[in-house]
Amino acid sequence: MKKGFLSQLVYSSGLWMAGVSILLLSACINIFHFISDPHLVHIPLFDRFYGLEILGIQLDDIIRSPIFASSTRFLLLLGCGLLLQYISTQFRLIRTRSFFPFFFFCVFSATILPSIPLNGAPLACFFFCWAVSRLFAACENSSANRAIFDASLLLVVASLFQSRIIYLLPVFWVVMGILQIISFKSFFASLAGALSILWIIGGISFLIEDFSFPMKHFQSLIFYEIIDFTKFSPAEASYIGFLGILMITAMLSFWPRQNMDKLRTRNYLNSVLLLWFSLLALWIFSNNDMGLLLLLFSLSSLMAAHFFSLTDTRFSRGLFILFILLSAVVYYLIGA
């Protein structure tokens, strides 16, 4: 049977160059939309540092510099893509060698880049991907408790920039059960990792006598607003709808044939899906928070890569071409 272009692309080094180029081009074009307004750059965790001066340099000039913020956002998104590629390769999520995880995340993030707020959302995504990597690493080495401690710690660090991510901590415990690494020691290692960051933040707030950030952080946890799909623009609605179709297709492709994968690989992929559904619920109750949508896209990249790497049919090729075309159109409409 003659192979299609997806089989030729799956391990092509051109995917690396294409992904980096697409993300870089999107970042360069987008920077002109907010270069004149430094107040668009606002990270609540850094509120205490705004207005401070060190060695005659205003920290605002650095932290709130649109060029610095855009460059940092690009590097963080690039780092997220590399982490997702590492997760896919290191833990063998795909039976064949594939560079699609990196490519898909670059395209996803480049498409919605004009809507990604400069409030620490890429930082949250980076630490979240790192946390997932450390959680999966608990199955691969003898230092399982250390890896679990790191995973929970990194998840809570991510929640400092995107508060609702902390709700994923119980989901991490369920994932530990799926991966068959849960025990009293691992549970308390996870708990210790999560509480260590909260203890440090509380201690620093006590020393500087400023509890504004912890108060705002915990208030945001109890506030929720169900998403109103009627407020979506046609571009946003079409892209979210396509994401739904793509994920349903990927799941229907994976579940009936999951016995072809090793048990550990099946556990990894089912864990990714559990985290994806949990993030979907958080996103629905956060009134279309773009930071959470970015996290959704990160896990969607892994499942989309699994589907397109192992399925090369007319349908999958058509879906891939539609994905590229729709991403370009949606980016243009969002950035217009």
Q: Provide the whole-model pTM.
A: 0.88
In this model, does residue 64 exceed pLDDT 80? no
In this prediction, residues 296-302 reach a mean pLDDT of: 95
In this model, does residue 299 exceed pLDDT 90? yes
Give me the pLDDT at residue 315, please: 92
Give me the pLDDT at residue 1, please: 43
pLDDT digits (tens, 9 = 90+) for 92-133: 999 888 999 999 999 999 998 888 877 788 999 999 999 999
pLDDT band at 88 (very low <50, low <70, confident <90, very high): very high
Give me the pLDDT at residue 30, please: 76
Across all residues in the chain, what is the average pLDDT?
Answer: 84
Cβ proximity of 135 and 148 under 8 Å? yes
Give me the pLDDT at residue 13, please: 83
In this prediction, residues 163-173 reach a mean pLDDT of: 92
CA–CA separation, 324 and 182 (whole Å): 40
- Extract the tokens encoding 83: 């982490």
Q: Name which residue leads in pLDDT, 63 or 173.
A: 173
- Please list, in sequence order, all residues whose beta carbon lies within 8 angstroms of the beta carbon of residue 40, skipping any fewer than 6 positions away: 34, 66, 118
Give the max Cα distance, the chain: 70
pLDDT band at 10 (very low <50, low <70, confident <90, very high): confident
pLDDT band at 48 (very low <50, low <70, confident <90, very high): low
Q: Name which residue leads in pLDDT, 84 or 35.
A: 84
pLDDT digits (tens, 9 = 90+) for 177-209: 999 999 999 999 999 998 887 777 776 666 656
pLDDT digits (tens, 9 = 90+) for 16-32: 999 999 999 988 887 76
Task: Write the CA distances from 246 to 15, 251, 302, integer angstroms.
Answer: 20, 9, 12
Output helix, strand, coil percentages for the chain, rounded to the nearest 5: 75, 0, 20
Give me the pLDDT at residue 33, please: 58
- Please list, in sequence order, all residues whose beta carbon lies within 8 angstroms of the beta carbon of residue 154, skipping any fewer than 6 positions away: 127, 128, 130, 131, 134
- Residue 53: φ, ψ to 5°: -130, 130
Cβ proximity of 205 and 222 under 8 Å? no
pLDDT digits (tens, 9 = 90+) for 203-229: 666 665 666 666 666 766 777 778 877
Nearest to 224 by CA among 170, 284, 156: 284
Give me the pLDDT at residue 38, please: 46
pLDDT band at 36 (very low <50, low <70, confident <90, very high): very low
The end-to-end CA distance of the chain, in Å, is 44
In this model, does residue 174 exceed pLDDT 70? yes
User: Which residues is 297 bridged to in the sheet?
Assistant: none
Alpha helices in 64-183 (DSSP H): 66-90, 100-112, 121-137, 144-159, 169-178
